[in-house]
Chains A and B, each alone.
Chain A
Amino acid sequence: MTESSALADNVRALIGFTAEPVVMEVERGAIKRFCEAVGDSNPLFTDEEYAKNGPYGDVICPPGFFGWPIKPAPIMAEPTATMTAEFAKAGFPGLLDGGIDYEIYIPIYSGDVIVSSAKIADVYEREVKGGKSLFGVIEITYTNQNGDMVCKARRILIGRQA
């Protein structure tokens, strides 16, 4: 018996779910607030004067920040929200973030407009610490206003059986 054969139909149906792309704007102020929240005072990300004379000629985002949605998507259209709802129906409530994997190609500059496209790439069940857990993999690609791929991400979400 394969792992996936145990999946509830509504959970299996999540594989391939593709969300509407989200358009995000990278504002200087948002980069600063992000860095302040982390406690990251690197002037490459926060100091325009310093960044002007640096290798990029302008403020860039710390890897991991992609700007804020210009028009937030309806929450149930998001892969995470959809996965959370369907996992809960199958008896796996309360999704936790399991981890992330980034491949980073080019920097994101202040002023860029980033399009993020996310899809649910996989869902599988596993025994963890004596209980069943559902794992969901969300693949996200980030593209800038020139059509260049800036980053690919794989996010793992974990639901524990109730």
Chain B
Amino acid sequence: MQGAEDFDRSPSIIKTGVNEMAEIKQLYWEDVEVGDEVTTLPKIATTMMLVKWAGASGDFNPHHYDDKSPMAAATGSIIVHGALKRQWLIQLMTDWIGDKGKLRKFSCQYRRLDFPRRMANFVDPMEGETWLCKGTVTKKYVEDDQHLVECEIWVENGQGEKAVPGNATVALPYQGAK
């Protein structure tokens, strides 16, 4: 299994689940081809991350923080917010397209329930599942003077399943023919 340590852009994720951007690169439309991969973004959902997300997003549904709420009790764990996984996939795209890229369309479907890692202490999560946000370029075209790229995107869970499949359309800067 591919782990977070295979991604040198985000060494801190192993400890905290927080990705630090190594550097900000601008992607240009002419540099993208159909079949290209979007730069993989690893994520670790922790109980701490879910608490932070509840506060930051305003989703206070108890099954995301209370093990004894009916749905969490039935599944045996609190459940990762679908919208948090959505936001991971949005970050996958905004990291990839750079400052001048624009996310135009985005969709995703929450197909699997995911369960966060517990915290070992105030900083480190316990051993467990790592999620990988991934994408591939499926279409490249020009429409209404916009240079557009479509991608199939997904969150892959620790079992290698596409837990959250989706699609994104981005507008990229274009510097003219090479």
Contacts and interface: CB of A to CB of B under 8 A. Distances in A.
B148 to A, nearest CB: 13
B88 A42 contact: no
Q: In the complex, which of the residues A36, A38, A41, A94 has the most CB atoms of chain B within 10 Å of its own CB atom?
A: A38
A104 B105 contact: yes
A118 to B, nearest CB: 14
Contacts of B88: 38
Contacts of A156: 109
Nearest to B10: A39
Contacts of B32: none
A64 B13 contact: no
Contacts of B109: 98-99, 156
B83 A37 contact: no
A100 interface: yes
B57 A37 contact: yes
B119 interface: no
Given A39-B13, A41-B18, A62-B87, A103 B55 contact: no
A96 B110 contact: yes
A64 B95 CA distance: 14
Given A34-B57, A68-B58, A97-B81, A40 B87 contact: yes
Interface in A93-146: 93-94, 96-104, 107
Nearest to A44: B99
A74 interface: no
Contacts, number: 105
Nearest to A157: B82
Contacts of B100: 55
Given A99-B82, A99-B110, A36 B52 contact: yes
A101 B86 contact: no
A43 interface: yes
A98 B19 contact: no
B98 to A, nearest CB: 9
Contact of A64 (B19, B43, B90): B90
Contacts of A43: 21, 24
Contacts of A101: 105-107
Top-3 shortest CB links A-B: A97-B82, A99-B109, A37-B52
15 contacts: A30-B56, A39-B43, A40-B87, A42-B95, A44-B94, A44-B99, A55-B100, A63-B94, A68-B58, A98-B82, A98-B109, A98-B110, A99-B110, A104-B104, A107-B102
Given A40-B91, A55-B99, A101-B105, 13 more contacts: A30-B56, A37-B56, A38-B84, A38-B88, A38-B91, A41-B20, A43-B21, A68-B58, A99-B109, A100-B82, A100-B107, A102-B105, A104-B105
